[in-house]
Structure 1
Amino acid sequence: MLFNSIQFIAFFPIVVLLYFAVPKRVRYLWLLAASYFFYMCWNAKYAVLLLYSTAVTYFSGLLIDRCDKKNWSQRRKKFFVALSFILNLSLLFLFKYFNFAVENINFVLAKCNLEVITPQFDFLLPVGISFYIFQALSYTMDVYRKEIYVERNFLKYALFVSFFPQLVAGPIERSKNLLKQISTDNAFSYENFRRGLLIMLWGYFQKIVVADRIGILVDTVYGNVGNYAGGYYLLASILFAVQIYCDFSGYSLIAAGAAKVMGFQLMENFNCPYFATSVAEFWRRWHISLTSWFRDYLYIPLGGSRKGTVRKYLNVMIVFLVSGLWHGAQWTYIVWGGLNGFFQVTGNVLAPVRDKAGKLLNIKENSFGCRVFRTVTTFALVDVTWIFFRAASIHDALHMLKSILTVPNPWIFIDNSIYELGLSQKQFHLMIFSLAVLFAADWLKQKKVNLLEKVLEQDLWCRWTVYLAGILFVLIFGIWGNAYDAQAFVYFQF
């Protein structure tokens, strides 16, 4: 059940209406039932995996808490943490990485003139498995670190893991934020209601108007690598950077808005990432819930920056390589992660040189020109990594990069050939207009201007004019039709 489907448009009001209609003491039970129904609409049998991960981390939390109360050894406590991670990550490995591992083992064996037939695991990847397993594991770690009290109500904990707005594509919530809200009696609030719906509307704009329209052009080029030249690849790579941002940010906004309507506050997942002035800053703004997860549960346990500069940079590379693997069982994702890590490490290493050069040349770091230069440079580096992320193979990505550098063919922007990439001239111009709206909104947010508050503080007629204009714009100019299948949101595949 996609957020941008008729089914969800019917499902969501029913859930909200009954959530506030049933007695407060059983509201979490209604949300739990609705969340499992939501997930089972994808594939009912995979709800067993969701329940499995929930049960493993729930009982692990109880055992870890028991270790503290019984003064059992730290070693036993760590054993239960390790057991929770092993049982969950084994499930993730089986469904997501087993075939990838087998293929690479067979490749190595073939190079050694050895033929070994190893089994293939022929099952579809369960939707959202990487998200809900990471969310459940964060609970295990938080209980171990005594950052939260153990949750003894299994059904409330099950709702924390399966909360439908953010179940299949995040944000990856923390127990200290979402779990405690589940036990809160949320009274209906008109403020939450209208704010939530406006947040959802902006998410739908990003997804249906911007991302899905861009996706038509991007799919045309990336699906036919070899049939185009540099300028086309440059355009497609830049637009894909915007597409994946609007696709994923749009989902996160719809999730946050849906939760807000019911009185829940989800964490912010994106903060104008393409206004970052370094790759490190980009990753503090992009997919914040995943980045902070890796920081808290991988980077810091590895030693973070506490064990010297070399170890710090090694830890950064490990985190990004694992992040690439988290996104998918393909070498393109691993290269994408490795490049992001390399650019961040290189940026940190060269920072003193850059600062000295700036002082020597009397360049003001906070000047407008300097900020623009660093923002554009950062976007260019990130865009290079996105080429590997989107390309079907490393070979295709390298071909595109080579063609961009050697065959610029800028005339495609003036000879109308860009209108042969799946979007008519009218649709292309509408895309440009939508991008301008998106850029303006992010620029204002970057300048600490809260557009939501600006709209809500207007008088009744002005507010409703904005509401209706936004709804009509999405309905009229959104991309509707056969694009809405199980792959409609890019991050569903992770």
Structure 2
Amino acid sequence: MLFNSLHFLLFFIFVTTLLYTIPWKLRWLLLLAASAYFYASFIPVYLIILGVVIVIDYFAGIWIENSNGHKRLLLLILSLVANVGFLAFFKYFDFLNNNITHVFKLIGQKNEMPPLREIFPSLILPIGLSFHTFQSMSYTIEVYRGNQKAEYNFGIYSLYVLFYPQLVAGPIERPQNVLWQFRERFDYDWENIRTGLTLIAWGMFKKVVIADRFALVTDAAYSDVPNQSASALLIATFFYCFQIYCDFSGYSDIAIGTARVMGFKLMTNFNAPYFAESISEFWKRWHISLSTWFRDYVYIPLGGNRRAKSRVYFNTMVVFLLSGLWHGADWKFIIWGCVHGIYLILAQIFNTHTIFRRAHVGKGGPLPVRLFHILWTFLLVAFAWIFFRANSVSEAFEIIHKIFNFSDYRIPNIAMNTGEFIFSLGLLLLLVIKDKYFARYIPDTRLFWMLFPLVCFCCYLFGVFTSNQFIYFQF
């Protein structure tokens, strides 16, 4: 069930209305049933897979809490192995098998293991598998660390994993932030309704008006790279930077807003990332729930920045290699992650020198210097997005070669006429102004009744409804 569909609109209105009319003790049960229906609306059979993971981690949390010493660690490891095992089977088996096949060919051998999709032709990657797997893992880790009590109510724990607003594409929530809210008694609150609907409207605008419009240019160029000019590919790459941002942050806004309307508060997942003045700051603003997950559960346990410089560089590269692999079973995603890791390692190396420390300015620095840092950071991020968006690694290098072939620049032929292109640039300006000056703005009641219908009407009037899928659903 897609957020940008009539099906979801009717579902959301029905569930929310019913939520505020039934006794509060039954609300978690309603949300659990609604969340199961929401996920089953994609592919019903995968609800069983999710159910198996839920059962494993539910009992693991209880057993970890009631165990001591090495047994606790063993139980945690078994839980993590089970979660990673499901993820590896569905998402990475064919990737690993294909790479083994290539290695075997180099040594004159044959890999007898067929691709998984030849064994199971109807097998499809479960929607949002990486997201709810990481959320489940955070629960058992936090119970092991003593930061979260084990949840003994199986239904409440199931709701923590299944909660439909953030089930498919996050935010990846920690149990400390969410579990207690399912037991909290709350009544109708107009501030929550107004805040939530504002987020939903703006998130929908970003998705259907901006992201899906920019996708027209990006998809056309990246689907026919050999016949595209350097200027067309450059524009398409520029548009993709904002397409993926509006698509993913739009989903997060809708998810957070949907939960807020129902009385629940989810964490912020984006914070104007293209205003970052460094790659490090970019990752503090982009997909915050994932970057903090890797920080807390991978980077810090590896030693973080408390070790020798070489070990810090190693830890950084491991995190971003895993981040790339998390996004997809393809070398292009791994390279994308490694590129960001290299950026951060180079920044750490250069920042050891006084001249680079002085160049790294904060919010109080001179405006021209800050603008330079923002532009430079954006260009680095945009370059890395080429690997993320390209259909293959070889195609990514072909795009890079074309973009840096300055003799190939000419008037671009893009999938927009002049009027649509100017309108798109106007939307981009609106996005920049909103992120810079009104990122946290929630209108008062009077303005809400003016702006909310206006934004909804603009979604209907200017929305592009030919590309409905959210980009991060594939992860």
**TM-score per shorter chain, which class?**
over 0.9
Q: Which residue of 1 aligns with 2:179?
A: 179
Q: Which residue of 2 aligns with 1:406?
A: 405
Larger displacement relative to structure 2 (28-37 or 185-194): 185-194
Pick closer, same or farther for the CA change 1:359–1:466 going to 2, 3 Å. Answer: closer
Asked whether the equivalents of residues 332 and 389 of structure 1 are also in contact (C-alpha less than 8 Å), the reply is yes
| Alignment map for 1:234-249 (pairs within 5 Å) | 234-249=234-249
Query: For 1:436, which of 406, 429, 435 is the aligned residue?
Result: 429
Cα shift readout 1:4-39 (whole Å, capped 9, x = no counterpart): 011001110000011111111111000000000000
Aligned-pair CA distance for 1:463: 3.7
| Alignment map for 1:190-201 (pairs within 5 Å) | 190-201=190-201
Distance 2:56 2:355 in 1: 53
* Residue ranges of structure 2 left out of the alignment (5+ in a row): 118-122
Q: Which residue of 1 aligns with 2:372?
A: 373
Cα shift readout 1:59-111 (whole Å, capped 9, x = no counterpart): 100000111xxxx3x21110000000011110100000000000000001011
Q: Does 1:483 align with 2:467?
A: yes
Q: Which residue of 2 aligns with 1:76?
A: 71
Query: For 2:441, which of 448, 451, 454 is the aligned residue?
Result: 451
Distance 1:392 1:187 in 2: 49
Q: Does 1:121 align with 2:116?
A: yes
Asked whether the equivalents of residues 358 and 364 of structure 1 are also in contact (C-alpha less than 8 Å), the reply is no
| Alignment map for 1:318-337 (pairs within 5 Å) | 318-337=318-337
Asked whether the equivalents of residues 91 and 125 of structure 2 are also in contact (C-alpha less than 8 Å), the reply is yes
- Amino acid in the other structure paired with 1:265: K
Pick closer, same or farther for the CA change 1:200–1:232 going to 2, 3 Å. Answer: same
Pick closer, same or farther for the CA change 1:351–1:358 going to 2, 3 Å. Answer: closer
Aligned-pair CA distance for 1:358: 7.5
Q: Does 1:464 align with 2:449?
A: yes
Equivalent position SS for 2:351: helix
- Amino acid in the other structure paired with 2:401: K
- Amino acid in the other structure paired with 1:400: I
Q: Which residue of 1 aligns with 2:207?
A: 207
Distance 2:277 2:89 in 1: 39
Asked whether the equivalents of residues 402 and 408 of structure 2 are also in contact (C-alpha less than 8 Å), the reply is no
- What is the percentage of aligned positions where both structures have the same residue? 40
- Amino acid in the other structure paired with 2:387: F
Normalising by structure 1, report the TM-score. 0.92
Cα shift readout 1:412-442 (whole Å, capped 9, x = no counterpart): 2xxxx44xx2223332222111111101001
- Amino acid in the other structure paired with 2:344: Q
Asked whether the equivalents of residues 365 and 371 of structure 1 are also in contact (C-alpha less than 8 Å), the reply is no
- Amino acid in the other structure paired with 2:467: A
Query: For 1:111, which of 99, 106, 109 is the aligned residue?
Result: 106
Q: Which residue of 2 aligns with 1:285?
A: 285
Distance 2:95 2:193 in 1: 45
Asked whether the equivalents of residues 4 and 204 of structure 1 are also in contact (C-alpha less than 8 Å), the reply is yes
Distance 1:261 1:408 in 2: 54
Distance 2:367 2:344 in 1: 23
Cα shift readout 1:120-151 (whole Å, capped 9, x = no counterpart): 21211000110001001000000000001111
Distance 1:289 1:210 in 2: 23
Pick closer, same or farther for the CA change 1:11–1:365 going to 2, 3 Å. Answer: closer
Q: Which residue of 2 aligns with 1:96?
A: 91
Q: Which residue of 2 aligns with 1:87?
A: 82
Cα shift readout 1:269-306 (whole Å, capped 9, x = no counterpart): 00010011111110011000000000111111111112
Q: Which residue of 1 aligns with 2:381?
A: 382
Distance 2:407 2:195 in 1: 45
Q: Which residue of 2 aligns with 1:422?
A: 415
Normalising by structure 2, report the TM-score. 0.96
Cα shift readout 1:349-394 (whole Å, capped 9, x = no counterpart): 11233x426769x999810010011111111111111000000111
Aligned-pair CA distance for 1:409: 4.8
Aligned-pair CA distance for 1:492: 0.2
Count of equivalent residues:
469
Q: Which residue of 2 aligns with 1:141?
A: 141
Q: Which residue of 1 aligns with 2:459?
A: 474
Distance 1:435 1:408 in 2: 28
Q: Which residue of 2 aligns with 1:397?
A: 396
* Residue ranges of structure 1 left out of the alignment (5+ in a row): none
| Alignment map for 1:32-51 (pairs within 5 Å) | 32-51=32-51
Distance 1:308 1:23 in 2: 57
Considering only aligned residues, what root-mean-square deviation do their CA atoms show, in Å? 1.7
Distance 1:53 1:94 in 2: 13
Pick closer, same or farther for the CA change 1:82–1:363 going to 2, 3 Å. Answer: closer
Pick closer, same or farther for the CA change 1:329–1:203 going to 2, 3 Å. Answer: same
Distance 1:109 1:375 in 2: 46
